[in-house]
């Protein structure tokens, strides 16, 4: 049932212990009369990956797993569950907790309806390559959150993983444009990136609206670029770097790079340190006269 690929043996035992405790805690939560379900992870049928799992009773809690393949972000299911009456248990690792914090801040779920179990994560593994997942290389947890329980101190693991992605900043403008054209042309506009994103909780996406009609639906490269650019800007300052968009993309578009570059710029230009970490307002929803404005020839 347990697939650690790069995680060393000693840590593997540690993960297994955590899994046991996760199941105990979830089962105990599900004994509560007001408990609806506990959202965590289970192994996929081929046992190569994990997927979200909604445990409804203590027996089902035994299907929950915790290991270095727990990529999905359980917090992203919460907005659509906000009308449910009762308590929802949810297991979160650092990146998920950042998303959860943003969701609570944006009124998408009420803290009082949640039982939050914090899991100290030591880095996830990419099931295809066996290497540490790229998002974990720049992880900024522990995240400050009022967890109901945790499986240990929410500390930052000392991961010294280099970014393996193409260095976009080193590219010329033309090269970068060519890179993104090629990358975004793979998109088939299936919307998986949008639907899996914790931050895409608008009741109706502007790309679905017919009046006003924000976007054409021709599906050509211009449309694809428009879609991804708007989405990236929309998430600037809210993206918590969980990379679920890239994982969900069936065509392998490097959406993680797109969002990451916006996060980098936010840090560089506005000293904005990433969503879900502080109580700073989302970047693009604030205005300060000291904001740099290089586009209009202002101070860099």
Partner 1 sequence: MSRVKVGVFVCHCGSNIGGTVDVPDVVEYAKDLPLVHYSEDNLYTCSDAGLTAIKEKIKEHGLNRVVVASCTPRTHEELFRRTCEEAGVNRYLFEFVNLREHCSWIHMNQPQEATCKAKELVRLGAAKAARLRPLEIARAQIKPACLVIGGGVAGLSAAGSLAQQGFEVHLVERNDRLGGLTVDLWKLLPGDRPASELLHTLTARVTKNDNVTLYLSSELNEITGFIGSFKATLSTPSGKKDIEIGTVIVATGAVELEPLGLYNLGKTEGVITQMGLEKMLSDGRKDLGDVVFINCAGARGPDREYCGRLCCAVSIKNARYLKEADPDARVTVLQRDVMAFGTEFETEYRKAMCAGVRFIRFSPDRPPTTIGNDKVTGVRIYNQLTGEESDLSANTVVLTTPLAADSGASDLAQMLKVPVDKDGFFLEAHLKLRPVEFATDGVFIAGAARFPADIGEAVAQGTAAAAKAAAPMFAGEVSVEATTALTNPRLCSGCATCEAVCPFGAIEITQDRHGRPVSEVNAVMCKGCGACAAACPCGAIQQLGFTDSQIFEMVRSLARDGDPSGSEG
Partner 2 sequence: MTVIGYMKRSALEGVLGDISDKLEVIAPLPSGDKGAVELRRFEKGAQVSIGPVKPMLPLKTIFLPPVEQIFRFSKSENETTVTASTPITRDRVVFGALGCDIAALALIDEVFLREPVDEAYRERRTRTTIVALACEGQGPECFCASVGIDPVRPGGADVVMIPVKDGFIVETITKKGEQLGTMLQGALRDPTGPQKKTARSFTSTSRSDVDLSAPAGGWSAVWESEAWEDASARCIGCGICTVVCPTCHCFDVHDERHGNGGERFRKWDSCMAVNFTMMAHGENPRPQHRARVRQRYMHKLVYFPENHGAVACVGCGRCAVACPNRTGIGEVADRMREREEDSNE
Partner 3 sequence: MNELMMIPLIARIRSIREVTFDTLMFEVAIEKDGKEVPFSYLPGQFAELSVFGVGESPISITSTCTRPGLVEFAVREVGLVTEAMHNMRPGDNMGIRGPLGNGFPVDEMKGKDILFIAGGIGLAPLRGLINYVLDNRSDFGAVDIIYGARAPNLLCFDWEFDTWKAAPDTRVHLTIDAPAAGWNGSVGFVPAIVKELALPPGNRLAVACGPPIMIKYVLEDLAAAGYRDEDVITTLEMKMKCGVGKCGRCNIGAKYICVDGPVFRLSELKTIPSEY
* Binders in 113-152 for partner 3, by CB under 8 A: none
Q: Say if CB 147 and CB 257 are below 8 A apart.
A: no
Residue 214 interacting with partner 1 (CB under 8 A): yes
Residue 76 interacting with partner 1 (CB under 8 A): no
Q: Say if CB 178 and CB 172 are below 8 A apart.
A: no
Q: Say if CB 214 and CB 207 are below 8 A apart.
A: yes
Q: Which is nearer to partner 1, 181 or 213 (CB)?
A: 213
* Binders in 93-132 for partner 1, by CB under 8 A: 106-108
Choose the one of partner 3, partner 2, partner 1, none that binds residue 202, judging by a C-beta under 5 to 8 angstroms depending on kind: partner 1
Choose the one of partner 1, partner 3, partner 2, none that binds residue 196, judging by a C-beta under 5 to 8 angstroms depending on kind: partner 2
Beta-carbon contacts of residue 28 (< 8 Å; ≥ 6 apart):
58
- Residue span binding partner 3 (CB under 8 A) among the ranges 18-26, 112-120, 161-169, 210-218: 210-218
**Site mask, partner 1, residues 268-287, x = CB under 8 A?**
-------------xx--x--
Ramachandran assignment for 90, one of left (phi > 0), alpha (psi -120 to 50 degrees), beta (any other):
beta
Token readout for 179 is 């890179």
Burial class (CB in 10 A: 0-12, 13-18, 19+), 148: middle
- Residue span binding partner 3 (CB under 8 A) among the ranges 34-42, 161-169, 187-195, 206-214: 206-214
Which of 211, 279, 290, 299 is close enough to bind partner 3 by CB under 8 A? Answer: 211
For β-strands 35-43 and 114-118, DSSP reports them as unpaired
- Residue span binding partner 3 (CB under 8 A) among the ranges 20-28, 205-213, 260-268, 287-295: 205-213
User: SS3 of 141, please?
Assistant: coil
* Binders in 142-201 for partner 1, by CB under 8 A: 201
């Amino acid at each position: 049932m347990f697939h650690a690929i790069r995680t060393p043996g000693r840590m593997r035992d540690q993960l297994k212990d955590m899994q046991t405790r996760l199941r105990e805690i979830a089962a105990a939560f599900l004994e509560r009369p007001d408990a609806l379900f506990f959202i965590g992870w289970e192994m996929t049928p081929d046992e190569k990956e994990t997927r979200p799992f909604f445990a409804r009773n203590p027996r089902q809690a035994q299907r929950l797993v915790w290991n270095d393949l727990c990529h999905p972000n359980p917090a992203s299911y919460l907005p659509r569950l906000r009308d449910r009456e009762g308590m929802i248990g949810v297991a979160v690792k650092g990146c998920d907790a950042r998303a959860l914090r943003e969701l609570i801040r944006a009124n998408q779920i009420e803290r009082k309806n949640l039982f939050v179990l914090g899991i100290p994560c030591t880095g996830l593994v990419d099931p295809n390559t066996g290497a540490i997942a790229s998002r974990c290389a720049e992880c900024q947890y522990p995240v400050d959150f009022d967890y109901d329980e945790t499986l240990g101190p929410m500390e930052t693991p000392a991961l010294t993983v280099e970014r393996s992605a193409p260095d976009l900043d080193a590219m010329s403008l033309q090269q970068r444009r060519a890179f993104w054209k090629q990358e975004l042309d793979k998109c088939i506009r299936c919307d998986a990136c949008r639907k899996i994103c914790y931050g895409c909780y608008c009741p109706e996406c502007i790309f679905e609206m017919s009046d006003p009609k924000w976007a054409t639906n021709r599906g050509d490269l211009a449309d694809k670029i428009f879609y991804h650019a708007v989405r990236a800007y929309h998430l600037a300052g809210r993206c918590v770097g969980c990379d679920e968009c890239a994982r969900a993309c069936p065509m392998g578009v490097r959406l993680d790079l797109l969002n990451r570059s916006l996060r980098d710029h936010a840090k560089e230009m506005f000293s904005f340190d990433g969503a879900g970490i502080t109580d700073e307002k989302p970047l693009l929803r604030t205005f300060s006269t000291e904001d740099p404005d290089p586009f209009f020839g202002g101070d860099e």
